[in-house]
């Protein structure tokens, strides 16, 4: 089985254009399954049975793995065995009749508009890092892009004269996202007053730079976000994705149509976007209970 994993990874790169993080997730899941089947790392094709798939999922549950983790492992195995069947390396897909564990859909955590405003006002725009941080936060809230997309933006991806951002999303899919005036102004100030100082005489087309003049990392932005959440007195467990969730929720609360939000966020399936309609309904109910005299 192990000899088939690398060709499968090549297929994921060439045919499906998956991100590095997703590829590593596939590799890790398949590696764990290989180790489960054969401690020597060389399980035979005869061991690729439905019974062993079910036993492996049960083993993960015994280890205390979350239902989402178990489901992700099964999804990785399904993709792998579908590939093997298509390549005629095996005759039967052992995952075909294995049911995925039911995952309880949890509503995403979002910030209120007042919390977002406090967060966006937190950076000190008298310094180059402050201009950068203000621009990153404003851009993230203006567009709802993923943090991986944020730190990957190149200088040529921003068109301030027309107010648009070119974003490369999952699977190398490009989308054009409008920028609001506030985000445009924050970006212009950073480019004119902060970025050149942060380059430290280096050459880079990365838009957002760290203190070494290199491209900002996801981990670096995470630390920045945590810092400003504390200074804004936001005590929720905030992540970069929290702002993405907040953007979608605030847009739908104010009448944006579901399809437009889907396009803006880069969701392949509209069912992913529909989760935010449940969030807005829960907010309406909370407001009703808090304000109606006979609630």
Provide the annotated active-site residues: 146, 170, 241, 244, 267, 276
User: How far is it, in rounded angstroms, from Cα 203 to Cα 220?
Assistant: 20
DSSP 255: T
Q: Is 84 exposed, middle or buried (0-12, 13-18, 19+ CB in 10 A)?
A: buried
Please write down the long-range contacts of 210-219, taking CB distance under 8 Å and 24 or more positions apart. 211/129, 215/151, 215/152, 216/136, 216/151, 217/151, 218/147, 218/148, 218/151
Closest by Cα among 68, 70, 79, 63 to 5: 79
Q: Quick one: tokens of 220?
A: 């670096």
Residue 170: Cβ within 10 Å count: 16
The stretches of 87-126 forming alpha helices (DSSP H) are 113-120
């Amino acid at each position: 089985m192990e000899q088939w994993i690398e060709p499968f990874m090549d297929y994921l790169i060439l045919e499906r254009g998956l991100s590095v993080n997703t590829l590593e997730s596939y590799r890790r899941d398949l590696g764990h399954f290989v180790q489960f089947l054969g401690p020597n790392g060389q399980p035979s094709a005869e061991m690729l049975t439905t019974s062993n798939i079910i036993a492996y999922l049960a083993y993960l549950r015994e280890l205390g793995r979350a239902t989402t983790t178990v489901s992700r492992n099964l999804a990785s195995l399904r993709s792998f065995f579908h590939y093997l069947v298509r390549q005629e390396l095996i005759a039967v897909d052992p995952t075909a009749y294995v049911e995925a564990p039911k995952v309880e859909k949890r509503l995403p955590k979002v910030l209120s508009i007042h919390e977002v405003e406090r967060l966006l006002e937190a950076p000190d725009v008298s310094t180059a890092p402050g201009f950068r941080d203000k621009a990153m936060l404003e851009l993230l809230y203006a567009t709802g892009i993923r943090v991986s997309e944020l730190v990957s933006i190149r200088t040529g991806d921003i068109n301030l004269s027309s107010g648009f951002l070119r974003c490369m999303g999952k699977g190398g899919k490009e989308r054009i996202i409008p920028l609001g005036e506030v985000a445009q102004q924050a970006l212009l100030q950073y480019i004119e007053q902060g970025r050149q100082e942060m380059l430290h005489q280096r050459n880079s087309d990365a838009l957002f730079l760290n203190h070494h003049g290199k491209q900002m990392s996801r981990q670096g932005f995470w630390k920045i976000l945590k810092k400003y959440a504390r200074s804004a007195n936001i005590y929720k467990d905030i992540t970069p994705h929290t702002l993405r969730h907040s953007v979608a929720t605030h847009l739908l609360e104010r009448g944006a149509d579901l399809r437009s939000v889907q396009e803006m966020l880069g969701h392949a399936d509209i069912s992913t976007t529909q989760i935010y309609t449940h969030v807005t309904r829960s907010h309406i109910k909370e407001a009703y209970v808090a304000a109606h005299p006979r609630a």
